[in-house]
Amino acid sequence: MIDINELTISTARSLLTSKEISSKELTKIYIDNAYKSEQLNAYCLITAEQALIQAESADIALRSGETSPMCGIPIAVKDLFCTKGFVTQAASKILEGFIPSYESTVTKKLWDAGSVMLGKLNMDEFAMGSSNETSTYGPVINPWRGPSQTKLTPGGSSGGCSAAVAADLCLGSIGTDTGGSIRQPAAFTGVVGLKPTYGRCSRWGIIAFASSLDQAGTITKTVRDSAIMLNAISGFDSKDSTSSRSKVPNFEQMLTGDIRGKKVGIPKEYRIDDTPDEIDRIWNDGIEKLKDAGAEIVNISLPHTKYALPTYYVLAPAEASSNLARYDGIRYGKRAKIQENEGITELYERSRGEGFGKEVKRRILLGTYVLSAGFYEAYYMRAQTVRSLIKKDFTDAFSDGIDVILTPTTPSSAFPLGEKINVNPIEMYLNDIFTVTANLAGLPGISI
């Protein structure tokens, strides 16, 4: 009998290749789990029929012996990835009923590798949020509970991805990370969240939030699983002008576990006031474990870190206001009912007003403001300058011999649903304080 709680992508791969279980049997287990756990609201669409068809094809490939490491593995996909023939809504009312006629590059790579799509996962609307409470589908509930069974956020925007992996509703999931949207929810649910280097994975077919910051990545149970999935989704894509031509190494083979002599940087700027004792304790425990494994701990400075959050919340909304201008209710998605004697401008306004949620409207307005005449140089151009300085901080640290930097992922543990979103949006934005720097610098990051 298979213990699904102990199952990972790497162990499932072994069971599939040794014929101890078929992909169809494995897929049925996860489909059943997904339906039984609907109260978590992690899935916004379960594609059971498609999953079983893909699983049967995977079993044929497995019998032939010519397979990839992801063949037959049941996974789920954030609702931001366009999936041909299946509703892709970005958790927004304005894309209600939108069914793409094309497949995103990342998901196509997975299906070509023999992976099985269990369904689409809930998220913050257009990936804007840190608690998965801005979704038109309603909030996702963290499978872990707080004191007195308090319902907690699974984080955001990839909250459905993190909850699904933590609750064994899929073996792994694909999400996106614009300012921490993979790593923060992974931290809140106790799983592994990987944001690759910008350009490592194609953005083609992913509904854009902020094009210079968005990056596809993985949420899994283990680091090895992240490496396996990353190999499947990486690589150059001619359809994405920002796609990296760098050779894709075998990430799994690089997991030797040997970090002797590696220099680990500890940035003093990340020791912020009001950080809970438990966060500092976990950080210090991590430092001691790395010391014990033979790493050298080096105190470093990233002086422009304090400007990262305001820089991000100028640049990301600016890019969002531009990217979301295409949703006008005319070409696809929700269209407001046409009123008598109404012009095209009024139709645009009502379609966008009815289709976008509160948080998305807030960011569009903020982004439009910082790009407007008279404010472009004062805000947007200045933020771009600071972004360059933040990137230089990291470049200088790595040039000085630092191999990797260890920081907390979040300034708190998972908080109760409704605690921040209904009080002050600034409180919610502060959840990204440790994660946005990696996106601004285009660097990879992983939450373990």
SS3 sequence, 109-176?
HHHHCCCEEEEEECCCHHHCCCCCCCCCCCCCCCCCECHHHCEECCCCCCHHHHHHHHCCCCCCEEEE
Q: Cα–Cα distance between 39 and 37 in angstroms, integer?
A: 5
Q: At 321, phi and psi to the nearest 5?
A: -60, -30
181 is catalytic: yes
Query: In sequence order, what are the beta bridge partners of 45?
Result: 120
Contacts 24+ apart (CB under 8 A), 382-385: 383/310, 383/311, 383/314, 383/315, 384/315
Do you find a cis peptide bond into 211, omega within 30 degrees of 0?
no
Which residues in 181-199 are b (16+ Cβ under 10 Å) and which e?
A: bbbbbbbbbebbbbbbbbb
Among 207, 115, 134, 56, which residue's Cα sits nearest to residue 362?
Answer: 134
- DSSP labels, 98-109: ---SS--HHHHH
Going by C-beta distance under 8 Å and a sequence separation of 6 or more, which residues neighbour residue 6? none
Q: Which of 22, 24, 68, 78 is catalytic?
A: 78
Q: Cα–Cα distance between 139 and 359 in angstroms, integer?
A: 14
- From the number of C-beta atoms within 10 Å of its C-beta (0-12, 13-18, 19+), residue 205 rates as buried
Q: At 337, phi and psi to the nearest 5?
A: -65, 130
157 is catalytic: yes
In contact, 178 and 187? CB cutoff 8 Å? no
The C-alpha angle with vertex 43 and arms to 37 and 45, in degrees rounded to 5, equals: 120
Q: Which of 157, 173, 234, 244 is catalytic?
A: 157
Q: What is the dihedral of CA 74, 162, 322, 238, to 10 degrees?
A: -40
Going by C-beta distance under 8 Å and a sequence separation of 6 or more, which residues neighbour residue 288? none
Strand order in the sheet with 263-267: 296-300, 263-267, 404-405
212 is catalytic: no
Q: Which of 22, 37, 181, 202 is catalytic?
A: 181
Assigned token pair, 390: 């933040």
Assigned token pair, 382: 């200045």
Helix (H) or strand (E) holding 353: helix 344-355
Active site amino acids: 78, 157, 181
